[in-house]
């Protein structure tokens, strides 16, 4: 929350409040002032998240849309500063600056200029460049980034900021500044915005004290977006190429905060967990409220309802609009339990038909026969799953086997679209080895075919005896029984379709280089004149 006088707060909540606005636009080293005679309207959009649920590690640019009635033509890339103040019986309040923006685009209709402006976080889209070498610290990375981007940070916030050790180099041009600042923000359990003075600000999630209690007559069109959210678990994709998964806490997907950060460590993850543990809020969308410009994204507030119930929520997105008076809207996105687990809403029976689905589905496959892994990349275990929509899936691969020599084992999870997530490799020593890999793959597009675990070794052989390998997936939108049987790689699935009960057409799907051992048959009687036959 922005510090303002008590007069400012009181005036902002007055029933018949009087609002004044000015806009300053740079003119060389000076600023030209526009008042209510020239300001048609302006609207400021700001946020701490760009998604449909609460998250950390976001670096969000604010936008200003400004309309001015003027013949004046501002300079190229001019700086724009809007201000608001309230007036009352005791005289006007102080002016509150609402941000610092740069004109990005403009157009003129008649005598009205329309400007689209952004704050300086727009610069963070540039490729990251660094002269730092590990070991270094998050504060050193931050200060170098600020210097390169020409940004400032509040000195008090910088002085009080925790400092974490970083032992992995973030290579130049491999990331954007937004990526790197986002990594630092997530390590501090925070998001990054530009404050009202135009300085970079970390918005911490552990500041949960409600900043304002909003009365029923101060808002309208409030919609509650599902049940209250509580976070009790953090999962991070970390390490080189973010292939390592770290986890702390307990809870299902609905209670889990996911981050992707190549420089996070178990120690830092514990720090994040301690800060987010127990965060609770109710998702809301407020179509219109009186708007209190001293509130910022990240502030917790309470909405009092006419039924006597209170709603605790956090401002995640906010719009401030001035057009003679001031109003706005805010939202606090929150996925429902069903959305978090399934990725869809609505009538489950209608959406799924006769398919049995389960919340938090595990789909498991084991090797029914001995697996011989050699230097050829081959599919070795089939995981029979289907998804209903785009989703995130957590995969676990475990195997106990014997290597004939010291070698390296390569593993890939493939769908018909290609490799899911990252490829993995692990060192095997001659003799008995245990392989255990856990990974989270984000934003997997809907698929209806099996997943296959491919393996190869660089030399020698790796032998896995029956039932000593497991390949399973857990997550949202997952149907564990896709109509294809749970099959080891050396199984054959055979479909028999009876057309008019006369002809029989067999469609066989045989995994690449598989040996036929087991046969599973499905029979389907079709009474049809035209049938498309696909042969694999």
CA–CA separation, 429 and 433 (whole Å): 7
CA–CA separation, 219 and 429 (whole Å): 66
pLDDT in tens, 79-138: 999 999 999 999 999 999 999 999 999 999 888 999 999 999 999 989 999 999 989 999
The whole-number pLDDT of residue 72 equals 92
**Inter-CA distances, 123 with 104, 171, 258, Å:** 12, 19, 26
CA–CA separation, 469 and 422 (whole Å): 20
Sign for the pseudo-dihedral over CA of 265, 176, 53, 184 = positive
Other C-beta atoms lying within 10 Å of the C-beta of residue 247? 16
Q: What's the token pair of residue 352?
A: 């799924």
Q: Name 143's Cβ contacts closer than 8 Å, sequence gap at least 6.
A: none
- 150 three-class SS: coil
Residue ranges of the chain with per-residue pLDDT less than 70: 239-243, 336-363, 386-389, 447-449, 476-536
Half-sphere exposure for 32 (CA within 13 Å, toward CB): 14
The whole-number pLDDT of residue 340 equals 46
Is the separation of the CB atoms in 221 and 236 below 8 Å?
no
The whole-number pLDDT of residue 424 equals 87
Q: What's the token pair of residue 200?
A: 């970079």
DSSP secondary structure string, 348-394?
HHHHHTT----TTEEEEEE-SS-EEE-SS-EEEEEE--EESSSEEEE
For 500-513, give one letter per residue: b (16+ CB within 10 A) or e.
Answer: eeeeeeeeebebee
Q: Is the pTM of this model over 0.85?
A: no
- 227 three-class SS: coil
pLDDT in tens, 247-298: 899 887 778 888 889 999 999 999 999 999 988 999 999 988 888 999 999 9
CA–CA separation, 350 and 518 (whole Å): 35
- 272 three-class SS: helix
pLDDT averaged over every residue in the chain: 81
CA–CA separation, 492 and 508 (whole Å): 7
In the chain, the domains with their CATH numbers are 6-122+204-343 (2.30.300.10), 360-479 (2.60.120.40)
The whole-number pLDDT of residue 13 equals 92
Other C-beta atoms lying within 10 Å of the C-beta of residue 127? 11
């Amino acid at each position: 929350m922005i510090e303002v006088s008590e007069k400012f707060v009181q005036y902002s909540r007055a029933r018949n409040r009087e609002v004044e606005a000015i806009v300053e636009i740079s003119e060389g080293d000076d600023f030209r002032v526009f008042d209510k005679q020239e300001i048609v309207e302006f609207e400021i959009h700001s946020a701490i998240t760009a998604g449909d649920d609460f998250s950390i590690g976001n670096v969000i640019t604010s936008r200003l849309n400004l309309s001015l009635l003027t013949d004046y033509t501002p300079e190229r890339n001019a700086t724009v500063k809007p201000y608001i103040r309230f007036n009352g019986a005791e005289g006007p309040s102080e002016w509150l600056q609402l941000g610092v923006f740069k004109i990005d685009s403009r157009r003129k209709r008649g005598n009205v200029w329309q400007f689209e402006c952004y704050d300086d976080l727009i610069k963070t889209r540039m490729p990251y460049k660094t002269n730092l070498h590990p070991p270094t610290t998050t504060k050193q990375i931050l200060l170098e980034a600020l210097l390169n981007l020409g940004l400032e940070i509040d000195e008090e916030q910088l002085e009080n900021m925790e400092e974490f050790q970083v032992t992995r180099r973030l290579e130049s041009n491999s990331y954007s500044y937004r990526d790197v600042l986002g990594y630092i923000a997530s390590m501090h359990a925070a998001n990054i915005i530009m404050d009202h003075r135009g300085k970079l600000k970390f918005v911490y999630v552990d500041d949960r004290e409600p900043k304002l209690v909003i009365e029923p007559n101060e808002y309208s069109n409030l919609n509650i977006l599902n049940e209250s959210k509580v976070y009790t678990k953090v999962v991070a994709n970390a390490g080189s190429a973010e292939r390592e998964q770290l986890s702390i806490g307990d809870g299902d997907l609905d209670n889990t905060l996911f981050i992707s950060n190549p420089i996070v460590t178990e120690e830092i993850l514990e720090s994040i967990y301690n800060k987010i543990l127990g965060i609770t809020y109710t998702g809301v969308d407020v179509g219109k409220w009186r708007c209190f410009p001293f509130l910022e994204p990240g502030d917790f507030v309470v909405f009092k309802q006419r039924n006597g119930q209170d709603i605790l929520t956090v401002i995640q997105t906010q719009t401030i609009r001035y057009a003679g008076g001031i109003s706005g809207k805010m939202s606090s996105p929150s996925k429902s339990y069903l959305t978090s687990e399934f990725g869809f809403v609505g009538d489950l029976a209608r959406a799924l038909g006769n398919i049995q689905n389960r919340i938090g589905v595990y789909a498991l496959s084991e090797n029914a026969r001995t697996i011989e892994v050699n230097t050829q990349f081959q599919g070795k275990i089939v995981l029979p799953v289907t998804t209903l929509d785009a989703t995130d899936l957590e995969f676990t691969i475990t195997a106990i086997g014997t290597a004939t020599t010291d070698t390296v084992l390569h593993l890939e999870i493939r769908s018909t679209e290609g490799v899911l997530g990252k490829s993995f490799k692990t060192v095997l020593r001659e003799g008995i080895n245990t392989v255990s890999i856990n990974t989270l793959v984000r934003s997997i597009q809907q698929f209806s075919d099996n997943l296959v675990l491919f393996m190869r070794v660089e030399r020698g052989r790796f032998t896995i005896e029956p039932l000593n390998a497991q390949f399973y997936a857990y997550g949202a939108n997952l149907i564990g029984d896709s109509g294809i049987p749970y099959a080891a790689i050396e199984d054959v699935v055979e479909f028999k379709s009876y057309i008019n009960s006369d002809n029989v057409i067999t469609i066989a799907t045989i995994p690449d280089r598989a040996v036929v051992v087991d046969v599973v048959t499905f029979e389907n009687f079709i009474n049809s004149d035209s049938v498309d036959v696909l042969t694999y």
